[in-house]
Structure 1
Amino acid sequence: MQWSNYIKQFSQYLRLERSLSDNSVEAYVHDVLKLSAFVEMKYGNLAPQKVQTAHVQAFIEYINELGLAAQSQARILSGLKAFFKFLMVEELTDRDPCQLIEGPKLGRKLPDTLDLDEIERMLNAFDLSTPEGFRNRAMLEVLYSSGLRVSELVDLRRSNVYRDIGFLRIIGKGKKERLAPIGREAMKYLTMYENEVRVHVPVKPGHENYVFLNRRGAKLTRVMIFTIIKQIALTAGIRKSISPHTFRHSFATHLIEGGADLRAVQEMLGHESITTTEIYTHLDRDYLRQVIQEFHPRA
């Protein structure tokens, strides 16, 4: 049994045993495919059980020479470790060649954020006289108000919008559920979109419960959300590199900058670890440093 069969089993294991999302499974599989292609190119017909630490090290050096960022190298190594752990769990091998390999040193990259004025400019740039413009305004209001991932936005169900208490029930990474608050403005635009725009869309069978639909009545894709945000950023005259995740970053940063409790933000974002949320504290630290410099007698 060669790489393709093992990778297929690995994919099934990730879905069934670890309940990972399709995007996560696809990322892991691509990581292993990269290694298999390298092994075939460099060492010929070498089965996964025959891969040794030296082979994996050579692969990491290879992708480093290609110019892959440290973050990407670390993610690929994580995927390879998951693959060889799977082989051990299934008793298809008795050793993990990645066990002694350390990932590249990662600096905490501060995410790009938008200030309140930039967010207002983007929200106000939509043409509300068109159905798509109204829908897109509602989507961005929800993104910024609730700090959703783009996958969570496109998968948002009508039955998971609790208008009476102002919360959204979100199915996040690994099928984990959380309640995300939604602000009054976002709820206003969401309700107006449903009552004045969505009701006129011929809904495709099977898509009745999705909140945001395209003009053909099917749920929107992640790529479509990216495209909408890129276009409205240009319309609003914003030159930053912006994606749907920028709104999630801005949501978290603005909350913490305003004094929100870190654990509350962690809960709202659906982060398992508090250290993931801590990357959003950079603006708060800058402000504290400024206060010290301005007001401390021995600054």
Structure 2
Amino acid sequence: MTDAAAWRGRVGGTWAEEHARTERALAGVGAVLDAAIAVQAPEQGSAVDLGCGAGSTALALAAARPRLKVSGIDLSEPLLTVARARDVDNRVRFVAGDVLDVVPGMAPLDLLVSRHGVMFFADPHAGFSTLRRSAVAGATLIFSCFRARGENDWAAALDATLGIVRPANGGYEPGPFAFADRGFVTDLLTRAGWSAVDMQPHDVDYVVGAGAGADPIAEALAFYRRIGPAASVLAEAETGERAKLEARLGDLFATRIRNGAVTFTAAIWVVTAYAPKEVP
């Protein structure tokens, strides 16, 4: 698992440098999540984007609800620098720090959202309990997360191509697929004080090679050299072996070209839960 120190340093810097590619890859996720948030978001009050990264979810929410006070929190200052540069109208307050340290100071919150940013708590029960205590009665929590790794072609196909064998899931482990199991997430949120937990499955495009005039296979390789399940494997391979692995990836990418872009599928949940309303 990538730890907080890495996000504050090297990993966060890489994601900031690659934000155009990562935002393209996650655009399908964002479109589904933003639509779901728009149904739930109040016209005014206070909202926070947890693990906001380059700011896409927070900025979309602020544009949809101009009277809503929107903040974004992330560990990575380089990613927040990107987010602030994208916020040309200064609609969002972006804060560097650990979500669980910062959120209590923003209470009371009417809406808490996250695009794939809440699967990394060391203690998820404590984490979601802290979020619950920071929410007003009736507040909405809505976030996206990946379903099972095997359902996510963008990761599973690379594992198979590179011969990566992943250990069987032995329980909760922070990471991209930590919330794949519906029963686990429903029980977790309920025990943490959230109610009416709902999880809707979606399959969306995950585009990793595109761009006007660009070679989609070369673009996909450039992406996966730095981001995702192949990056560490390629980085650790010796030169000759790396060339063979990249050739195999190139063959895989060629089978995924659609409308001029290397397009995989991402299988996600959109999770919605509520802070219980006070009893009169």
Shorter-chain TM band: under 0.3
Structure having the higher strand fraction is: 2
Structure having the higher helix fraction is: 1
Which has the greater radius of gyration?
1
* Higher RCO (CA-CA < 8 Å; seq separation 6+): 2
